Structure 1
Amino acid sequence: MKSVGAGSEQAAREDLAAAYRLIARFGMDDLIHTHVSARLPAEPDLLLINRYGDLFREVSPESLLVIDHDGNQVRGTQAPVNTAGVVIHTAIHAARPDAMCVAHTHTVAGVAVSCLEEGLLPLNQTALLFHGRLSYHAFEGIALDRDEQARLVADLGANNAMILRNHGLLTVGRTVGEAFSLMYGLEQACRIQLAAQASGARLLMPPESVQARTAGQYAADPDGSAELEWLALRRLADMPF
């Protein structure tokens, strides 16, 4: 997705709240756990994140909290913030100036693939979106310790998607829409892989040359599909479910 210029805090709130509701709609939420964060356009050292205790389908632009990189809520009525969310998200936002949004999930498919030694396989078109662009981070326990942050950032590197071993999925976007789109794609790739493996049949892998070519086609996005996708998803987020 093409990066867009800096917008208002309200626009960031609306996009981020939509991402939360879309994660719930597509079955990628985990009760009140996991998190999506967005950098404030005019205040890059501050982040928007959900109020710990809200279901993702309940998140609204107004309910989002503003926190600093130490996890302190800097304005508004004080509310709980998930410690693991602070540790994971502030580390990536601080290290990656391009990280306008960071998404993290604990889906059945994502966690299952994170537990497989081979990780994500290049089995299909969707998985090839991540060919050569997917990182892995070893499980160290619940992400409550700030000394894990340096290793988390080092493992992510310049990539925009990472599988947290024995834990879940993480994506980074230059916009909220990009982070969500990558998360949706990574989740779908995991679901497809598990379905193929469950068949018990031999798995057919595309040749390496085709894998690389497909990844390049995704990166070029000649039809501007990423922008169109987010516009459509924003409309979906506002529909009742």
Structure 2
Amino acid sequence: MNPFAEHFSTMTKSMLVLVGPDGYVSPHGAQLPINMAGFHIHSAIHKARPDVHAAAHCHSLHGKAWSVFGRSIDIMTQDSCLFHENIAVYQNFGGIVLAQEEGENIAKALGPKAKTCILQNHGLLTLGKTVDEAVYLFAALDRQCKVQLLAEAAAANGIPKTVISKEDAEFTAKTIQWWENVYVNFQPEYKLLLKETNGDFLL
């Protein structure tokens, strides 16, 4: 896990904390404090979903704004097909996740297949077979929440929305949802990060 009270932009590999399923920090990683709310969410997901190797969660601006509606996004752009039948909504905001049960409830909302989730009044959560997949899905979902907010604003002024048909969404999703494809799509961002930081985050 990432340590508590450390900005994402200053995070390095050596700062990552290895945490056991009981919540105790292992001596084989950084000896730094962790966010217990994050632990309850991540640990419950890893227990429920052995296919998941990485999870990404934070309170991003557009994801947080769209989450207040407690509903999914519309499949209305090609990019949004990434989330066709691949997104859950957890509608039971119970405050900061300080109990194991809340993490388990979020894992149940995700079910056996969904890799993305909107946490009502909270933010976004994405999963992946790799860190690359989880991070790409998170950024893509946050962008799609921004698109949704813009589209809703336009629709409120009488401009009708056109959503993609289920048939076309399924066809597109079969191509763009494959985890290896998502991994590849993240590589330009990874290469840019390497260049901008001289790889300092790998220290």
Q: Do they fold alike, i.e. is TM over 0.5?
A: yes
Counterpart residue number, 1:94: 47
The equivalences for 1:207-218 within 5 A come to: 207-218=165-176
Matched, 1:184 2:142: no
Matched, 1:65 2:17: yes
- Deviation string 1:2-45 (CA, Å, 9 cap, x unpaired) is xxxxxxxxxxxxxxxxxxxxxxxxxxxxxxxxxxxxxxxxxxxx
- Deviation string 1:209-239 (CA, Å, 9 cap, x unpaired) is 2222222232358xx6434333322221223
Question: Structure 1 stretch 226-235 or stretch 104-113: which is displaced more?
Answer: 226-235
Distance, in Å, in 2 between the alignment partners of 1:230 and 1:118 is: 27
- Deviation string 1:127-180 (CA, Å, 9 cap, x unpaired) is 121111111112121111112232111111121111111111111100111111
Counterpart residue number, 1:27: none
The equivalences for 1:71-90 within 5 A come to: 71-75=23-27, 78-90=31-43
The equivalences for 1:23-42 within 5 A come to: none
The equivalences for 1:88-237 within 5 A come to: 88-138=41-91, 139-158=93-112, 159-199=114-154, 200=157, 201-219=159-177, 225-237=181-193
Question: Structure 1 stretch 201-210 or stretch 226-235: which is displaced more?
Answer: 226-235
Q: Quick one: structure 1 residues 238 and 192, their matched pair in 2 at CA, closer, same or farther if it must change by over 3 Å?
A: same
Query: In structure 2, the residue corresponding to 1:97 is in which secondary structure?
Result: coil
Q: Name which structure has the greater RCO, CA cutoff 8 Å, separation 6+.
A: 2
Q: Which has the higher helix share?
A: 2
The one-letter amino acid paired with 2:8 is F
- Percent identity between the two aligned chains: 31
Q: Contact 1:69 / 1:86 at 8 angstroms: preserved in 2?
A: no
RMSD of Structure 2 on Structure 1 (CA)? 1.9
Q: Quick one: structure 1 residues 77 and 184, their matched pair in 2 at CA, closer, same or farther if it must change by over 3 Å?
A: closer
Q: Contact 1:110 / 1:168 at 8 angstroms: preserved in 2?
A: yes
Distance, in Å, in 1 between the alignment partners of 2:178 and 2:23 is: 37
Quote how far apart the aligned CAs of 1:58 are: 0.5
Quote how far apart the aligned CAs of 1:117 are: 4.4
Query: In structure 2, the residue corresponding to 1:238 is in which secondary structure?
Result: helix
Structure 1: any 5+ residue segments left out of the alignment?
1-48
Distance, in Å, in 2 between the alignment partners of 1:92 and 1:72 is: 17
The one-letter amino acid paired with 1:234 is Y
Q: Contact 1:71 / 1:81 at 8 angstroms: preserved in 2?
A: no
Query: In structure 1, the residue corresponding to 2:133 is in which secondary structure?
Result: helix
Query: In structure 2, the residue corresponding to 1:70 is in which secondary structure?
Result: coil
